[in-house]
Amino acid sequence: MFRAGFARVDVTPPLGSILTGYFAPRISDGVLDPVELNALAIGNEEDSILIITGDFMYGHEAALTRFRKLIAEQTKVPEDHILIQSIHQHTSTSVGYPGVTDEHYQHVLECKFCDVARMAVNDMAEAKVSIAQQETAEQVSFIRRYRMKDGSTQTNPVGNPDRVAPIGKADNTVRLVKFEREGAKDIALVNFQTHPDVIGGNKYSADWPGFVRRMTERDIPDVHCILVNGCQGDTNHYNLDAEKLPGGYEHSRHMGRVITDTVVKIWDQTKEVAPGKISGKVVMKRTPTNMVGLDRVEESIAALKALNEGTYDKPVTMGDRGEFRRIANMEKTTLVQVVPVSMVAFGNIALIGYGGEPFTEYADIPRNAVPELLVLSACLANGALGYLPSKSAFEEGGYESRTTNLTADVAPALQNEAIAMLREHVANNK
């Protein structure tokens, strides 16, 4: 018997905690809407998996690994069958980083992760599965990396007349997995992908993912909604061709409305699929550290100090600032980086997750390589190693490749690992 369960808990941090996501810390002074954990449990007589999403900027791999271990002990779901995602809202805090939130909140949060997992498992009821996918009627996700007239690459070249064209194509597809349950509310697993950095300011919010959850549950009777943010490292909400650059709480609401309208449209058009066998896997992929700039450590430390003190007297870009920080921390960095690659899957449906901010191609390439599966994707899954650029991005330059601790080797290594996981799942389902 195939079953699915859902749970949600409010984990809004105390006011006065640090909001992460920008170069300068912000202190939270209010709440626009709740910061939540959402959990989806899936199982049959033989196996089970858990998907947990948290409205957080980042989740440190060590903390999330500890959470997965505790959850496995309390739920009997295997540790490598648990995928924990930080959805990456820039109006929230981060998990497992000393000094970001107080120790008391971190301890409470550890308990809440276990609670939401147990509640989802306890909520499991017999379910039928169906799927659908469709592009949004209006484009709300845009490639943010642009080729410039001088051949360089810039991220978010707002108001710059020298931009030529975006590098790549944003994915505006909504992917839906519907669980119709006996004697319980249905569950909508929604997968969409772009940066949740729309609102800004110093107040907590789940940004557009929170709007999608609330609007879906309002528009479709008797349904729970869990939103998984996909491969978003090279996309955001900036339409540089618009007369006015979009942003703020109302635009976040608008994005939620556009995505939810697509969910509602395809809700009754889903195709039922056999749930099949369940599988899960987590691989800690080792990859070389980006050591470019090793000869500029002292210079970068001095530049960061001057920037923080307001005495830096040269023009500085977002890429410069990020690169200064990467190089300044180089003496504390190991020669090898460990990036989690995760998969949870059942039947012909699989969710691939990367422990960083992957570019769009990290979903496209595995999806095209294993077309027999509906492949969903997740950023910041079971860890947070910063940007995961495409291999070509390291040649093109730009903010993401300058600031990541990883090298061009990371793209094929992680993508090939994801493809191998997907193919193994397909083979086990034959």
Cβ contact 177:225 at 8 Å: no
pLDDT per residue rounded down to tens, the chain (430 residues): 999 999 999 999 999 999 999 988 899 999 999 999 999 999 999 999 999 999 999 999 999 999 999 999 999 999 999 999 999 999 999 999 988 888 899 999 999 999 999 999 999 999 999 999 999 999 999 999 999 999 999 999 999 999 999 999 999 999 999 999 989 999 999 999 999 999 999 999 999 999 999 999 999 999 999 999 999 999 999 999 888 889 999 999 999 999 999 999 999 999 999 999 999 999 999 999 999 999 999 999 999 999 988 999 988 888 899 999 999 999 889 999 999 999 999 999 999 999 999 999 999 999 999 999 999 999 999 999 999 999 999 999 999 999 999 999 999 999 999 999 999 999 999 8
Say what the pTM is: 0.97
Q: How far apart are CA 40 and CA 225, in angstroms?
A: 9
Find all residues with CB under 8 Å of 238, minimum gap 6, and list them. 142, 144, 156, 158, 245, 246
Give 326-351 as a DSSP string: HHHTGGGS-SEEEEEEEEEEETTEEE
Cβ contact 378:228 at 8 Å: yes
The domain limits of the chain are: 3-282+338-428, 292-334
CA distances, 400 to each of 242, 276, 322, 358, 419 (Å): 24, 39, 9, 10, 24
Structure tokens at 274: 């056999």
Residue with tokens 């006015």: 244
Q: Is 40 exposed, middle or buried (0-12, 13-18, 19+ CB in 10 A)?
A: buried
Strand partners, 349: 346, 374
Q: How far apart are CA 262 and CA 273, in angstroms?
A: 20
Nearest CA among 369, 359, 428 for reference residue 396? 359
